[in-house]
Amino acid sequence: MSVAKDDRRSLFLMLSLLLLILLTPFLEDQRIGEIFLMVALYLILITAILQLHGKETLRWLAIGAAIPVVLVQLVTLFRPSQSLLIVAYALLMAFFGFVSVGLFTYLGKPGAITSGRVYASVSLYLLLAMFWFALFNLTEAITPGSFARDGVIIRIPRSSFLYFSLVTLTTVGYGDIVPVSPVARVFAAMEGVAGVLYIAITVARLVAAYQKADSE
């Protein structure tokens, strides 16, 4: 029964992440759309916290990060300001970082490679993209003009940073959006490295966990 619950939690987290990613370019910059995106983000917060069951320290840290995320996002929706944006993206980074650590630990537990672990590995990959998405937004909020689109330094919409994060993590790199400041370039390079290493490390961790369970 616990295996089935783990599978459902992992599936719900993966679907909530996909929902936010797919809805963002269609609903952004619309008042009703922003509300729907905030609901989708809250869904991720809830499903991610549920996914951390059995890891009490990480779970409480995630809850501690999620509560201010909810409050700051609500205030930012109705009273946006530069300082609040910086705080909001910093909190999002912290939350996605805690959840990513928890999922990485879960993937390394001894046991069979269930569908829940497959869902969790996909969720972890998407969470890494969300982590860097928050970091890029934070970078742009602190230092405007850190990125350029089509060779022109302009304000990059939030959905474009999500797109940029995904193509950088997958090392596709279309080149339409590029980092121009030294800090942004380092962050983009680090995400590319993380994307390359993720597959090898995750597969090795899953296989090692399965072999350990099999030997025991």
User: Can you tell me the mean pLDDT for 9-30?
Assistant: 85
CA–CA separation, 93 vs 161, rounded Å? 14
C-alpha torsion 203→16→135→180, nearest 10: 90
**pLDDT class of 163 with cuts at 50, 70, 90:** very high
Determine the Cα–Cα distance for residues 215 and 67; give it in Å rounded to an integer.
Answer: 42
Top-ranked range on mean pLDDT: pick from 51-60, 68-77, 180-189, 206-215: 180-189
CB distance 98 to 50 below 8 Å = no
One CATH from 1.10.287.70, 2.60.40.420, 3.40.50.970, 2.30.40.10 for 2-215 = 1.10.287.70
Rounded mean pLDDT, 146-167: 88
Q: Are strands 177-179 and 147-149 parallel, antiparallel or unpaired?
A: antiparallel
Distance CA 26, CA 112 (A): 39
213/67 Cα distance (integer angstroms): 37
Closest CA relative to residue 64, chosen from 115, 13, 99: 99
Q: In angstroms, rounded to a whole number, what is the distance separating the alpha carbons of residues 212 and 216?
A: 6
Rg of the chain over Cα atoms, rounded to whole angstroms, equals 18
pLDDT in tens, 26-70: 877 777 777 888 888 888 888 888 777 666 777 777 788 788 888
Residue 188 and residue 90 in contact, taking contact as beta carbons nearer than 8 Å: no
* pTM over the 0.85 mark: yes
What secondary structure letter does DSSP report for 143?
Answer: S
User: What is the token pair recorded at 98?
Assistant: 């805690």
- What are the pLDDT digits (tens) for 121-149? 889 999 999 999 999 999 999 999 899 99
Domain boundaries, the chain: 2-215
* Residue 24 Cα distances to 55, 88, 182, angstroms: 31, 17, 28
Residue 216, pLDDT score? 54
Report how far residue 153's alpha carbon sits from residue 50's, in angstroms, rounded to the nearest whole number. 40
pLDDT tens figures, 82-130: 888 899 899 989 889 888 888 887 777 776 777 888 888 889 999 999 9
Which one has a higher pLDDT value, 60 or 211?
A: 60
